[in-house]
Amino acid sequence: MADQTVKTLMSLAATKFGKAESLLSPRDDFFEVLGIDSLQAMDLLTQLEEEFDVEVPDYELQGVKTFEELAEVIRRRL
Amino acid sequence: MIHPDRYESLGELLRDALVQFKSHRALVEVSRKKVKGELTYSDFKRSAMVVAARLADAGVTSGTRVAIVMSNQPAWLISAYAAFYCGAVLVPVDYKLSAQEQGNLLRHCGAEVLITEYPSWLGLAWVDIPARLRLVAGVPVGETLENAENWPEQPADPSATDPDFVPRKRHDTATIVYSSGTGGRPKGCMLSHDSYLNQYQALLTLFPMDETTRYFSILPTNHAIDFMVGFIGPMACGATIVHQRTLRPEFIVDTMKRLKITHMALVPLVLEAFERKLKEKLDAVPPFYRSLMNGLATINLELTRKKPNRALSKRLLGSVHAAFGGELQYLFCGGAFVDRDRAEFFYKLGIPVVIGYGLTEVCTVATVNTLHPFRGDTVGTPVPGVEIRIVSPSDDDRGVGEVQIRGRTVMQGYLDDPELTAQSFDGDWFRTGDRGWVDAAGHLHLVGRSKNMIVTEGGKNIYPEDIEGAFVEVPVDELAVFAADYIWPREGLTGEQLVAVARARQAKTGTALAKLREKNRTLPDFKRISGVVWWGDDFPRTASMKVKRHELAAAVRQHQGRDAVVPL
């Protein structure tokens, strides 16, 4: 289950920002590896919320930088 | 608008507003796509009296310091008013700081009361703070608190009368607002009731609000801009303030549409997001319609050169206005440098972006563009009651020098730091550390800074000494962080970067660089340094071993260029 969340998340992110999924790994800083800013990250999150059917409050995202951490935030709400 | 002349304090002004506008809608709270709750001015008063009763019971009175650490929500404003009602000095602390950083500031000001919300409390509960009363809002059902109590929503004694109002005088301190110093030397700006009442009068005369105003509060209320134009201003005018828990652009735009927002303050980063969305929409329409829109925008610009004409702009560019709810009158943009092209893009579409310039030290705003006519190339003219002067101007046509500010809105000084206060003033002129010039029309142009700090597009002021602590484990002999433009001055206020100056033995620079990179990655992106300059000599230091930053920067400038920066 844990692996699946992070995999789905990376796959969505890769498609959204035109990156090869094979280049992403769970511990990557998604800002760096996707080359995105905080606004684009928020856009990504909204898409993830729809995919997983959860609502993540903004404050839970403070300090979240890697795919793994983001997956954990989402998993807590599943 | 309630005229502030006959009032001595913010508490008095707001107390009258709550009576005068009693049945008007004061606050609306939105959660994602639905309205969660609404409060009239009377409801607001009732809630505030419950909090005030608890504060008074805990001994809060004239001058007691009450800190608020909370994201934008009704409980923020209700708590702030309750504190003013009890005569307290309000300490609004940035809820986005780490609990450790918040703790530093709470200890520095000796806050006797802390009012916070559950997500912040989860961190603050582990920090040593001096507050003897801790009120926590939004505690989930079933959770219990240790060393704190729930923010009161029901009176402890329903038959009790309201607590006594504690009057304050104009020269009394109203707030202590920290402009920096989370990691280094705290700079707590003490602002008087007189400063706020003057600023309120000046701003609300230029940009009136009334009972039909719907202000959308998305900048943190602890920030000077939202505190004035998203709390004091609208409440003293009977306006409605809208709060939303999420700040993601798509939800912001949705709320603007549904609640027909009329006024909003934002930072350049959000303006950029709006521009991006608008341009995406424009790019998606067929070329014929796109050129038609461009043509209409040009006509609109020509017809509104002297001043905005909302009705006309709406007729010409209805679809653009509808995208923001159709009632938007002003977007106040501050906190950081506003790109001229961006401001002009919006004005051309009939959405006036009001550009101003201010610092926490001068209350809210020192200069503002009045839109008569709109100019995107300046930060406007001084607001009534504020004077500016340019010190040591260059001898070219423009006369660029340090901007200094004088007037009743200027702070009383930095809390418990007479030395820093003295350094920051030249007589009664506040030294901003910003560089600029004034044109023939009296408009201020900012061109750079002489102080060692940067401002991000998100409006965050970053002081290098506040982040040096993150690099203590880097194996170098000495390290100091600087704003790159402080070492190598240039004109321009965008793309500002931080660099480290480090002294290390040649053989160790490789390891140090790797560690610098590692530590840098642990910082939020806005605090990261962009590179390092290797420096061979001992850093100049004072008798108390503090780095003489100005001297070190001058020495680096003399021997190294920007090209010596090794990128991280």
One-character DSSP codes across B371-422 = -TT--SSS--EEPTTEEEEEES--SSSS--EEEEEEETTS-SEETT-HHHHH
- Model-level pTM greater than 0.90? no
Chain A positions contacting chain B at CB under 8 Å are: 29, 31-32, 38-39, 42-43, 45-46, 55, 57-60, 62-63
pLDDT on residue B338: 87
What is the rounded distance in angstroms from the CA atom of residue B391 to the CA atom of residue B235? 38
pLDDT on residue B182: 61
Whether A38 sits inside 8 A of B119 (CB atoms) is: no
The CATH number given to whatever domain includes residue B508 is 3.30.300.30
What chain A residue is nearest to B272 in terms of C-alpha separation? Answer: A39
Residues in chain B: 568
The CATH number given to whatever domain includes residue B438 is 3.40.50.12780
Find all residues with CB under 8 Å of B430, minimum gap 6, and list them: B361, B362, B404, B405, B406, B410, B411, B424
Which site among B36, B121, B248 would you substitute to test the A interface, given the most A Cβ atoms closer than 10 Å to its Cβ?
B248
What is the rounded distance in angstroms from the CA atom of residue B426 to the CA atom of residue B161? 49
Closest CA to B68 of B10, B11, B108, B121: B121
What is the rounded distance in angstroms from the CA atom of residue A21 to the CA atom of residue B37? 43
What is the rounded distance in angstroms from the CA atom of residue B249 to the CA atom of residue B89? 34
Q: Where are the strands (E) in chain A, listed by range? A: none
Question: B384 with B485, same domain?
Answer: no
Question: B239 with B161, same domain?
Answer: yes
Q: A2-77 maps to which CATH number?
A: 1.10.1200.10
What chain A residue is nearest to B71 in terms of C-alpha separation? Answer: A59
Measure in Å the smallest separation between the Cα of B204 and chain A Cα atoms: 31
DSSP letter at B230 equals I
What chain A residue is nearest to B458 in terms of C-alpha separation? Answer: A38
pLDDT on residue B444: 96
pLDDT on residue B165: 98
Percentages of chain A per state (helix, strand, coil), in multiples of 5: 70, 5, 30
pLDDT on residue B120: 93
The CATH number given to whatever domain includes residue B114 is 3.40.50.980
Cβ atoms < 10 Å from Cβ of B141 = 4
Measure in Å the smallest separation between the Cα of A22 and chain B Cα atoms: 22
Which site among A58, A66, A69, A73 would you substitute to test the B interface, given the most B Cβ atoms closer than 10 Å to its Cβ?
A58
Mark which of B234, B258, B282 sits at the end of a domain.
Answer: B258
What chain A residue is nearest to B117 in terms of C-alpha separation? Answer: A59
Instruction: Tell me how many residue pairs between chain A and chain B have CB atoms under 8 A apart.
Output: 33
Give me the amino acid identity at B518. Answer: E
Find all residues with CB under 8 Å of B557, minimum gap 6, and list them: B487, B488
Averaged pLDDT for residues A14-19: 91
Whether A46 sits inside 8 A of B96 (CB atoms) is: no
Tokens of B182: 């989370």
Class of residue B521 by CB neighbours under 10 A (exposed 0-12, middle 13-18, buried 19+): middle
User: Is B282 within 8 Å of B293 (Cβ atoms)?
Assistant: yes
Which one of B246, B276, B525 has the shortest CB-CB distance to A31? B525
Question: B538 with B419, same domain?
Answer: no
| Chain A neighbors of B521, CB-CB under 8 A | 29, 32
What is the rounded distance in angstroms from the CA atom of residue B205 to the CA atom of residue B356? 15
Question: B73 with B112, same domain?
Answer: yes
| pLDDT score of A37 more than 90 | no
Which one of B246, B249, B250 has the shortest CB-CB distance to A58? B246
Which one of A42, A60, A63 has the shortest CB-CB distance to B248? A42
Whether B248 sits inside 8 A of A63 (CB atoms) is: no
Q: Is B375 left (phi over 0), alpha (psi -120 to 50) or beta?
A: beta
Question: B134 with B220, same domain?
Answer: yes
Residues of chain B predicted below pLDDT 70: 181-184
Give Cα B441 to chain centroid, integer Å: 28
Closest CA to B531 of B483, B463, B469, B467: B483
pLDDT digits (tens, 9 = 90+) for B453-501: 888 877 788 888 888 888 988 999 999 999 999 999 888 888 889 999 9
Measure in Å the smallest separation between the Cα of B392 and chain A Cα atoms: 39
Question: B429 with B459, same domain?
Answer: no
| Chain A neighbors of B73, CB-CB under 8 A | none
Give me the amino acid identity at B140. Answer: P
Whether A59 sits inside 8 A of B71 (CB atoms) is: yes
Measure in Å the smallest separation between the Cα of A30 and chain B Cα atoms: 12
Per the structure, the count of domains in chain B is 3
User: Is B173 within 8 Å of B90 (Cβ atoms)?
Assistant: no
What is the rounded distance in angstroms from the CA atom of residue B514 to the CA atom of residue B471? 12
Chain B positions contacting chain A at CB under 8 Å are: 32, 71, 96, 119, 245-250, 269, 272-273, 276, 458, 521, 524-525
Which one of A42, A60, A62 has the shortest CB-CB distance to B249? A42
Averaged pLDDT for residues A13-28: 91
Question: B62 with B201, same domain?
Answer: yes
What domain range includes position B141?
Answer: 4-258
| Chain B neighbors of A56, CB-CB under 8 A | none
Which one of A29, A42, A55 has the shortest CB-CB distance to B521? A29
Q: B330: which strand partners?
A: B263
Question: B443 with B463, same domain?
Answer: no
- What is the ipTM metric for this complex? 0.70
What chain A residue is nearest to B521 in terms of C-alpha separation? Answer: A29
Question: B424 with B477, same domain?
Answer: no
pLDDT on residue B156: 83
Domain boundaries, chain A: 2-77
Which site among A27, A28, A42 would you substitute to test the B interface, given the most B Cβ atoms closer than 10 Å to its Cβ?
A42
Question: B220 with B284, same domain?
Answer: no
pLDDT on residue B181: 58
Residue B481 to residues A55, B67, B255, B336, B506, Cα–Cα distance (Å): 39, 30, 41, 21, 20
Question: B92 with B189, same domain?
Answer: yes
Q: Is B134 left (phi over 0), alpha (psi -120 to 50) or beta?
A: beta
Tokens of B505: 């033995």
What chain B residue is nearest to A60 in terms of C-alpha separation? Answer: B119
Question: B466 with B551, same domain?
Answer: yes
User: Is B242 within 8 Å of B259 (Cβ atoms)?
Assistant: yes
pLDDT on residue A2: 53
Measure in Å the smallest separation between the Cα of A39 and chain B Cα atoms: 7
